[in-house]
Structure 1
Amino acid sequence: MGFGSLLNATLSLCDCELLRYLLERFDVGRCSIHLEEEELLLGDDDVQKTLGIPRGQQTVVEAEITSKDPQFTGLVALWRQRWGVKTGTPTTSQMLNGIIERRDHGDMFKRDFIIYVVSTLIRGFKNMFCNYRLLYSLQDVSKIQDFNWCAYTIRSLVDTTTTWRGKRDAAFTGPATFLMVRGEIVRKRIPTITSWTSSDLRARVKVERDIGGFGKGKVVEYIPDAHQPPPPQLSPPVNCHKVRKLKRSPPH
């Protein structure tokens, strides 16, 4: 499916102060983070090197809530029956427990896994229910790796940041892990999420506080692991590792 790298991820901490700093300095128009002296542009390639998820040619599509597509609605009915719900979806915690308890495999397991990953790492809901509308793009599980999940993550970052800014006391439901981990290299391994632990994140936050606050360090290039081949380039990179000196004040 192309999501195997996430099985090696151990980072479970979200630092709210760091996340708020990044969200407040994220430019939704340019898809960039305005640091103290630099601008870090984000794109598909950054997501692939951070999370290690597929970057294929097809666009991930979520069904509309009112969709009457017979194949989609039929699959939703079967999926809800599998999870014992008549409407809506199970929560992410229910899905996690169910996936562990079932220990099954097959097409429905693959759909469960992708829905759980997306709902917890990329595009979730504040009520902790799962993003079942993804089933529209999961009808043929053999094509999961053909979708551009990196571009989907970037779209989610822009959309969820815009929503969060409308009510900043609300929970952020977008790709928080990607936003926090991007740009920090630990033991030179790609995807970088496989090298991060909660202890690493705490240490990073402490160092940045000690030097006077977030955003004062330098943006660094990715350093590939000599023992790992580069990830496949399935679509043109978007704003890969572009850093520019700021000539204006960061957005508020």
Structure 2
Amino acid sequence: MGFGPLHLFRSSKLHRPLCQMLVDNFDLANCSIHIHGRSLSINHVDFELIMGVQDGGSPVDLDGSLDDPDIVELTRKVFGDKEMSVDVLKNLIHNTKKADDTFRISFSLYALAILLCPSTSDKVDPRFLLPLRDPAAVCKNNWATLCFTKLVERLMLFKDRSQYLGGCLVFLQLFYLDSIVSTPPTLYKNMVPATAWGKKESKRV
């Protein structure tokens, strides 16, 4: 679907002081991080390499109408008469017996809401339904670009002190570990950093 090996994701714990340091040293003007006397450029390609989330070639459009009949029907199909929350999605995913279109859409929404483009709310952003109206074309979307763009937007709002910190902070943590460690963990072979770095490997560093 374009989300890579997220089902094997191991780096679920954020080291908050480290993330705060990375955010403080994130240069929004040049899209780079200044750490340990180095200036590291960072972009959507790094997001793709670190997280395993892919760009499929088609821009992700979140500006369409949520009143579109297809979107209304899609919302009803996934959530029924329940609220658009991550708990509803989690239960739906756990109870799905086959990888049908409903599962694809639910998994995509869940991944975006809790990991790739998280916010401080437990509600799912309904705009994420727009690029999911065609489940067969989900893999063609530029997910890495979207997720990195959303991260930068959240960092910008946070630095302006207008909103809480959000976005995929675990990506920044993994980017840091991948950049400074000369000898990666044993599990790193043939794996993206998101699946190689677990609690034990991160704690060692």
Q: RCO greater where, 1 or 2, for CA within 8 Å and sep 6 or more?
A: 1
Contact 2:4 2:54 in 1 (8 A): no
Alpha-carbon offset, residue 39 of structure 1: 1.0
- The answer on 1:71 being equivalent to 2:70 is yes
Structure 2: distance between partners of 1:70 and 1:138: 14
Q: For 1:11, what is the secondary structure of its paired residue? A: coil
Over the matched positions of the two proteins, sequence identity in percent amounts to 22
Q: For 2:33, what is the secondary structure of its paired residue? A: strand
- The answer on 1:89 being equivalent to 2:90 is no
TM-score by length of structure 1 reads 0.71
Contact 2:3 2:143 in 1 (8 A): no
Query: What stretches of structure 1 of length at least 5 have no aligned partner?
Result: 205-252
Query: What stretches of structure 2 of length at least 5 have no aligned partner?
Result: 179-183
Structure-1 residue corresponding to 2:31: 31
Contact 1:99 1:112 in 2 (8 A): yes
Structure-1 residue corresponding to 2:49: 49
Alpha-carbon offset, residue 105 of structure 1: 2.4
Summarize deviations over 1:88-135 as a string: whole Å, max 9, x none: 512x24422331133342111100001111111121221222233111
Structure-1 residue corresponding to 2:107: 113
Q: For 1:98, what is the secondary structure of its paired residue? A: helix
1:162-181 correspondence to structure 2 within 5 Å: 162-167=156-161, 170=164, 172-181=165-174
**Letter aligned with residue 196 of structure 1:** W
Greater percentage in helix: 2
* Count of equivalent residues: 197
Contact 1:123 1:156 in 2 (8 A): yes
Contact 2:66 2:130 in 1 (8 A): no
Contact 1:124 1:130 in 2 (8 A): no
Q: Relative to 1, partners in 2 of residues 1:103 and 1:167: Cα closer, same or farther, differing over 3 Å? A: farther
1:96-175 correspondence to structure 2 within 5 Å: 96-167=90-161, 170=164, 172-175=165-168
Structure 2: distance between partners of 1:166 and 1:16: 20
Of 110-119 and 92-101, more deviation after overlay is shown by 92-101
Summarize deviations over 1:5-60 as a string: whole Å, max 9, x none: 11111222111111111111112222111113111111222111111112121111
Structure 1: distance between partners of 2:95 and 2:66: 32
Structure 2: distance between partners of 1:63 and 1:69: 12
**Letter aligned with residue 89 of structure 1:** M
Structure-2 residue corresponding to 1:239: none
**Letter aligned with residue 62 of structure 1:** L
TM-score by length of structure 2 reads 0.86
- The answer on 1:80 being equivalent to 2:75 is no
**Letter aligned with residue 151 of structure 2:** L
**Letter aligned with residue 173 of structure 1:** G
